[in-house]
Structure 1
């Protein structure tokens, strides 16, 4: 029976992705709940299909079903990519770019005063606004080289908290979380309350990362790109 994702199993997942060990990744995913990490594993599962790793096609098909049913932002883009890897779907016209979705999410959803930056289209590197200002080059304005990223603020992050609270089964704890996100300082109070329940804090981190990666994927698709295979963080 498949289990939920512990810190150790997530560590193993990231290690397999980083190493490009698709056989180890397929074996790990076969023992875990896919629904919790669809955005994290989708690109790697597609690579496993391309590499003809036994069991990869079955996992990819399960991912497509899960993404289609869940339908969070970015899920449709990933589902189409996997369908193309499996064969029946049209090949996506999005250009591959080795962008770290977690880093891109940080640019999109960071502090409005310091967030934003740009993506180097030759390398896929994400440059935060502050670091970017210290690395001026003569081709700074070249649209063939750079893709600007404007910070979109914390609205989506607040929505993540609301949606997560709806998944908490303990009524008393739910009430405390709902009170915590009311008014200024909502993010800090929410994390403080969650810290009292280590299991729920861990679950929220996995939940939030899924949604953040999906939003970053959708943003990237809007500019005609998709994460290249070695988006492995």
Structure 2
């Protein structure tokens, strides 16, 4: 998504908990800075640290006295039987998947309001916030994504008159390192998920870049409080 947004012309700042970015980020950054209209930057940020989060967002916004958009995608998974979850497990996941996303959106909105810079916020939820994931026991992850969808509606209601749009993007099953780890933990999972897709396959990360650019841009200027589901028909059965 970051690569595509730089190609569309934006200056993109990525946050992650890793002290230094992975090699694929460096390659994308070099490509963006050489061949794209926009540019790509990396910041070591833990979304569970609201002070750091707000400080970094404020510095970014002050570069050009504007902040146009946010894609909040922080999320972790834990495959555990519901009966075996501990309270600490639940708190840790919700701190990242829900509270971290909430605080990131809040930090961005705070700068948009301070600078009178209307913008668009995209919360990356999941179709897992609408259905139980057949074949995978992940009750807290699914619950956290349902919470993100509801958060998007409420933030849209509160911030709409400030010129800030908030929408949720709900991908279906995407082949990412996190999902590949799930396949190792549950060997039959991939076949189950492919069978549940009306297209008979799982998605790739790049298949959501157009949606992100649409939701961030003026192309979606009358869209707020909405949930965009792109799931290969999984939830339409």
TM-score, scaled to structure 1: 0.30
Answer with 1 or 2: which has the greater Rg.
1
Higher strand share: 2
Question: Relative contact order (alpha carbons < 8 A, sep ≥ 6): 1 or 2 greater?
Answer: 1
